[in-house]
Amino acid sequence: MYLGIDVGGTFTDGVLVSENKIIKTCKIPTSNNSILEAFEKLMDDKPFKRLEKIVISTTLMTNLILERKYDKTGLLLLPGPGISYQDYNFPFQFAIARGSIDFQGRIIEPVDEDEIIENVGQLIRAGCLNIGIISKFSSRNPALELEVEKIVKKQFPHLNIKLGHQVTGNLNFIRRAMGTGLFLATHNTFYNFILDIENSFKQRNINCPVYILKADGGIVPIKFVDKFAVDTILSGPAASCLGAKALLESDASAIVVDIGGTTTDLSLILNSIPLYASRGVRIEDIYTHVRSLAVYSIPIGGDTGIDIDGNNCLILTFQRAGLPACLGGEKPTLTDCLRVLDLTDIGDKDKAYSVLENISILLKKPVTEIANTALNMATDLIIKAIEKVFKIWQEEPAYRIWQLLNPLSIKPNTLICLGGPSGPMGRLLSEKMQIKNVHYPLCSVANAIGAALAIPTYEEKVRINTEKGEISSSWGYFVKMENLQKQKLFPKIAETKALEVFNLFLKENKVYAEPEIYQHEVFNMVRNWQTTGQIHEITLGIKPKILGFIENKECFG
Amino acid sequence: MNKSTGLVFFPAFDWSISPTHPEREERLLYTRDQIMEEGLLDFPNIKEYKAQLALKEDILRTHFCLPAYENVITEAHLIAAGSAIAIGKAWHEKEIFNGFALVRPPGHHALHITYGNRGFCNINNEAILVEFLRKKYEYRKIAIIDTDVHHGDGTQDIFYHDPDVLFVSFHQDGRTLFPGSGFINELGGPNAFGTTLNIPLPPGVGDNSLMYIIDKLILPVLKDFEPEIIINSAGQDNHFTDPLANMNVTAQGYARLTEKLNPDILVLEGGYAVETALPYVNLAIILALAGKDFTGVIEPQLGNKKLIESKDIMKYCETITSKLLSIWEKKKEINLDELFGKEKFYTRKKKIFYDTEYFTEEQEETVRRCTDCGGFIKYISYLKDNRKSPKSLCISIPIYSCPDCQKAGEDLFYSECNKDNFQQIFLQHKPKDLYLSKDDFHGEY
Ligand SMILES: [Zn+2]
Ligand SMILES: [Zn+2]
């Protein structure tokens, strides 16, 4: 039995899955205690020992970042030549120090011990006890970060230190610095949250493994998750997309529309694989290195308000209007429109009618026409956004000839709507788009289903520079290899080496899965018309999959 | 006003002329690393566009591909040209304020007639862009500033008779560097005299002397010409570390040059110091385009050094500047008959060496002299010492040609198609966007 819990902003959803069948679901208001509450509701009197795993998706990290609930953190940056410091925008204090590394990992300028001590001293005086140390190109050579760490530790042994290359080995100095800062600034809160969960499960004698869901739809054992804390941002949309996948045919290509209270998240499943974003997650002006599904959000949801503008035109307000009137709120919302048209039976129809009647009198049009017009406007906006998602996907830059000559042309033929008002909205959208609509009552807890069925997934890069005899990676692994063939490394040998170091990483994190090579590129390094070495860039990982497809979707609930 | 800078980055990581050739997969690898590591693509005012394939008609609008289209064009070339077009479109649509096609392979050595690879180039990306912009959006006056260390002889050839295209190239003197042309007396044909300007420079030119030439010569000429679009053939081989040339320009110099020229569209040309120059020069240029501070982009090889050119070089630059400026200012007073004769048609003969594939083209170029337009141009071309090479007649009617020149060009095409003087005959009819060969001709059209 697998148990999935998705803690959202308003509701916490949970499901219990056994042999590809949903056993039980629950939906409760989110509170400090909702993980345990959901757990108890789902398990009832079932024996704990049949539980194989628990997966939790939480908005904690997203909230910490959005609300800037940071512990005081300082960054010591070694940028070397490049863009101006004026263009840096960190929510943390930072200081610049000498010392630089180039794209090949060559040390261009050494560090200056006195300067480092002085700079860190200043950060400490400003109250920062968490210090991130980030050098440009540290993934190509972490030597300077390590050297600085040594200097700082010797002088200030009580500090919390994190190095950039330990957070991510991907290129992008600014995002790496941001990720290092976020890690340090949220670490305590996140760690305590994990301890709480672990303890409360322990107290109940639950010994099955517990995992946390990441933004890429992969899971990490809770014991190791503090290393990957920042990667748990925006795991909600990933959970929803995986859940949608579990409710579709096993080879489906579909548009996933997740309609919440104030936002609608759009994502794509192409030949049964969720589409990934080409750049790291961005939340407002916080740019991170975190890999995630490609999710496009628009500010429309069931709680979106309806109003009249200065020209007596009906408009959507794009602001939370409070609860829908039919559920006890005061102002008319899209949910009220669905209610008066009997497209949903949630809430009190009379209340919905009476708030819409005010608009109807002012515009001298029947209530049903008002409701239809508002829903039309909303579905038009969602469809426009879906078209935009396609456009973004198709206009994704490509750097190789074969990619341009073989454009992906999968056309999703199915729409699956998740979330509260998903049933009627899905029908309206699919009619307009002339596309197949998939809807089950289970769609309202698809996020929890996605969490329950998630497994580890990775896409990482290994770079081998034969001239320098170095292997580096996107997860921060770096090693010098003495006995590497210099001029030409056979592709098979390079790939074996890459898999070897990647398997090491997986083992460290207790992940047991067969990695695959996704792509392998070789660049001959030529100096003075002589080949002096090769750069192998190998992309490898574990394909995003789920544990199974739900079989009792038609008859459950 | 949209202040975004557009970028098409197409490093063609799966294309090379040969594994150890300067034009190989590795060329833009470290530029990519630097751009990615700096987080440049996260800047809100930098917009990345996807590379695109140019269409066959885009190529035929600009070139005669001999002996046949298929012998000259590969997909890599279509993508480089198409990416320049992609930036051109975005610029025209005002999605961007300026843009940079950071693409390979390069193109400025590809002439009007192209037989294949010459100076690493098969087709001329800038010229294809110019003809696209003129055909699709009706632009007319366009300036191309070639800042590659090699003379942009291909671009010069294509627009030599076009009074609406200003071509300015500075480069290391043709006596010391490929392709061996680009002298001060190459000033354009009889219909476009003065709209080609060449600034040959001695080895050792650095940032200061270059800024002098830009400030005192190129900018005044640009101001006077009043182009609707400025295109920069942005070669980076004037860099002090370039292995193929001998100049002393730095990344800062390239950025300041970009800031001063303020081009609308840049297309990457040469530059083969793949580690020591390209990552830094490209970064500095993009920052300059985006209006960002570029003063922090210092090449590790430069460090604290200052590259100051000799007094002789400064003196040379002052002299050539004043010479060319006076030519530019007096170009309307020149007696063209003295230079080009009194005949209705002006003919010149060229031998064009293809350095990559090692053959020589024999070419005779004839332009109809006209005071209203660029005339029409006919070429007779074949490969020297190659009996299999067909003798081709190529007739080009420029986009803004007058009715008389158009008619004369069309008539020549019909009459020659009825004769047997040439094995191949091509018509490039830009006003009608029609690209025909003898095989398409069946007595009338
Ligand atoms: Zn060049
Ligand atoms: Zn004419």
B284 and B194: one domain? yes
- Those residues whose C-beta lies under 8 Å from the C-beta of residue B241, and which sit 6 or more positions away, are B273, B276, B277, B299, B301
Phi-psi group of B99: left, alpha or beta (phi > 0 → left; psi -120 to 50 → alpha; rest → beta): beta
B325 and B425: one domain? no
Beta bridge partners of A414: A254, A436
Pairing status of strand B345-354 against strand B265-268: unpaired
Task: Give the other-Cβ count within 10 Å of A382's Cβ.
Answer: 23
B361 and B251: one domain? no
B29 at interface of A, judged by CB pairs closer than 8 A? yes
B213 and B139: one domain? yes
B249 and B384: one domain? no
Beta bridge partners of A522: A536
Q: What H or E segment, with its residue span, contains residue B145?
A: strand B142-146
Choosing from B63, B108, B109, B161, which is the catalytic residue? B109
B148 and B32: one domain? yes
Reduced to 3 states (helix: H, G, I; strand: E, B; else coil), residue B6 is strand
Two structure tokens written together for A474: 């996107």
Residue contact B39–A399, C-beta within 8 A: no
B399 inside domain: yes
User: Which of B331, B353, B379 represents a domain boundary (last residue)?
Assistant: B331
Question: Domains in chain B: how many in total?
Answer: 2
B225 and B157: one domain? yes
- Those residues whose C-beta lies under 8 Å from the C-beta of residue A149, and which sit 6 or more positions away, are A133, A161, A163
User: Which of B274, B297, B331 represents a domain boundary (last residue)?
Assistant: B331
ipTM of the complex: 0.92
- Closest chain B residue by Cα to residue A523: B26
How close B101 comes to chain A (CA, Å)?
Answer: 13
Helix spans in B180-310 (H): 207-213, 219-225, 251-261, 278-289
List, as one string, the DSSP characters of B290-314.
Answer: TT---TT---TTTTT------HHHH
Q: Are A515 and A492 in contact (CB under 8 A)?
A: no
Does the annotation mark B109 as catalytic? yes
Q: Are B63 and B11 in contact (CB under 8 A)?
A: no
Residue contact B20–A398, C-beta within 8 A: no
Residue contact A102–B36, C-beta within 8 A: no
- Those residues whose C-beta lies under 8 Å from the C-beta of residue A468, and which sit 6 or more positions away, are A104, A105, A533
Range of the structural domain that residue B239 is part of = 5-331
List, as one string, the DSSP characters of A379-437.
Answer: HHHHHHHHHHHHHHHHT----SHHHHHS-------EEEEEETTHHHHHHHHHHHHT-EE
Output the 3-class SS for A121-169. Answer: HHHHHCCCCEEEEEECCCCCCCHHHHHHHHHHHHHCCCCEEEEHHHHCC
- Candidates B311, B297, B231, B300; CA nearest to B264 is B231
B19 and B143: one domain? yes
B337 inside domain: no
B178 and B205: one domain? yes
pTM, two decimal places: 0.94
Beta bridge partners of B145: B168, B232
**Nearest ligand to residue B377 Cα:** 2
Two structure tokens written together for B79: 């993508």
B149 inside domain: yes
Q: Edge-to-edge strand order for the sheet containing B196-201?
A: B46-49, B5-10, B98-103, B265-268, B229-234, B142-146, B165-172, B196-201
B391 and B300: one domain? no
B383 and B295: one domain? no
CB-based contacts of B356-362 (< 8 A; 24+ apart in sequence): B356/B17, B356/B116, B356/B117, B356/B118, B356/B119, B356/B120, B357/B115, B357/B116, B357/B117, B357/B118, B359/B115, B359/B383, B359/B384, B359/B385, B359/B386, B360/B384, B360/B385, B361/B113, B361/B115
In the block, tokens 């289903």 appear at: A449
B336 inside domain: no
Q: Taking CB atoms and an 8 Å cutoff, what residues of chain B touch A526?
A: 19-20, 22, 24, 26
Question: Given this model, what pLDDT does residue A38 score?
Answer: 94
Q: Are A162 and A132 in contact (CB under 8 A)?
A: yes
Residue contact B75–A401, C-beta within 8 A: yes
- Candidates A122, A397, A315, A302; CA nearest to B35 is A397
B299 and B386: one domain? no
pLDDT tens digits for range A157-194: 999 999 999 999 999 999 999 999 999 999 999 999 99
B122 inside domain: yes
CATH of the domain at B276: 3.40.800.20
Over its length of 445 residues, how does chain B's per-residue pLDDT go in tens digits?
568 999 999 999 899 988 889 999 999 999 999 999 999 999 999 999 999 999 999 999 999 999 999 999 999 999 999 999 999 999 999 999 999 999 999 999 999 999 999 989 999 999 999 999 999 999 999 999 999 999 999 999 999 999 999 999 999 999 999 999 999 999 999 999 999 999 999 999 999 999 999 999 999 999 999 999 999 999 999 999 999 999 999 999 999 999 999 999 999 999 999 999 999 999 999 999 999 999 999 999 998 889 999 999 999 999 999 999 999 999 999 999 999 999 999 999 999 999 888 899 999 999 999 999 999 999 999 999 888 889 999 999 999 999 999 999 999 999 999 999 999 999 999 999 999 998 887 655 4
How close A227 comes to chain B (CA, Å)?
Answer: 23
